[in-house]
Structure 1
Amino acid sequence: MTLLHLALLLITLAGFVALCLAMPRHSKHLLRRTLSPQAARLTKMAGWGLLVVALALAIAQWRFSIGSVIWLGWLSLAGLALVFALPRWPWQPVKPQRPTRKKAQGTNRIPLVSAPTPAGPLTIAGATLVIALPLTVFAWQLANTGQKPLMREDALNGTIGPWNFVIAEKEQQPPEILALDVPLKQFVIRFCDRCQSEIRQAWLKVREPRSNTAAGNAFFGRGEEKTTQIPIPAAATLEDRLWLTVEGNDGRFHHQPLSIKRLSPSLATFIKERP
């Protein structure tokens, strides 16, 4: 995951550099010469292409809702890095000297326009703080945000009936024991986009259901991801497996066994070590 974040930063930075080279002013700054119109067009296309590639990678990994935010964050960091790098480039454009004005004879004098006062160190430090503080907060939140369960490597992809799904334990921890000493474990599931309108309900439980009316605890949720919390029977074994039941809009039920050890190693360890 760290390599992916680094790749996003480098790709967006390369895209910004390519866009800078497409501008005559910045190409003189970076290359000491301007590019030809054809080369500038190609460089501009390459720059936008790299930014699009970074966005596609972020969406492929985190989907659009999260991927676009992460892309914008790295976009800001890359732009800030380029802003601070340009003034420290090995060579700088030579500023043309202003011609000295001769004093006019008599009382008529040409008013001299005073040069703008350069920004002081405190002003530069304040501007840097204003820009860098939100980006620092973004990087801190990104580092402390846990990966979504269905995007982890331990998420299980499968097929039940005509539908594809991905399921994972919500937290990689042993079951939570609440009232009445009943261990509870949460799972998250997402069906394919076209499946949403074809599925009426989905359930999950330990052990094969004896009937469709005892299929376990139902998955609930407003978005694409549905969550359920199931109890773990005291006499449960790894051979019982987790059973996913899905009812289609046509009234047909489909059942799919899932390996406890594969889907939830923490639950498997809990079952084996429980007295």
Structure 2
Amino acid sequence: MTPDEALAVLPVGLRNDIVESFNRIVSNFREHRWEPAELNGGKLCEGIYTAISGYVDGRYGIRSSKPRDMVRACRELEQQPTSVPRSIKVQIPRMLLALYEIRNNRGVGHAGGDIDPNLMDATAVLYMSKWLMAELVRVFHDLTTEQAAHLVESLIERDVPQVWVEGSRKRILIPGMTWRQKMLLLLLSENGSVPEDSLIKWLEYSNAARFKRDVLRPAHKESLIDYDEEKLTVRLLPPGVVQAELLVRPA
């Protein structure tokens, strides 16, 4: 499913506002730019609030818009009738308020905050944003939580500056990395599963059997990747995403 299909119920402008804000959060987090990541958390809140309020009203805004009072607006959604899914009227709004609080009162967005932007806050922003996106997709498409989370990962634009790409070819540009680190970066640059032979080819690893033994199977055992030995495919799992993102630095 493409980003357009995942949020197809929304007008194009609103859909783009949400997906672009989400991808900026992911990109800024990878590049350790904590403050921009948090500021974009506020923009994502506005986009998702516009989407869920449109769900309740039966008409969606063309673009994201900021309510005059985000706290009051989110709390008012809790007064909706029981026919409205609890996620739309309670769970998503409460998560929006938590994310908006970090944007407003944790040293970002304005001078005078009492806490400097840091990894801890940016990590909270990243994973709250992923949860919000997954829950929005889950409700719109009646998916399981696992299916929605998987779909949200496919919405992420995988721009990894350490990976050179030309057609079907890929190479790691940073010398001195371990085979595992190179593998994680290559997988981060892809959405979904990667054929085992493509990964070995990109890495220019000379012995496929040894690569399986020394790199793939240990990483699978540690839940960094899912290595399907029947289908001969490899995909990044959430712990692997975290490790790969920590390897990314501005080009």
TM-score range, shorter chain: under 0.3
TM-score, length-scaled by structure 1? 0.26
TM-score, length-scaled by structure 2? 0.28
Which one has the bigger strand percentage? 1
Greater RCO, 1 or 2 (C-alpha within 8 Å, sep 6+):
2
Structure 1 or 2, whichever has the larger Rg, is 1
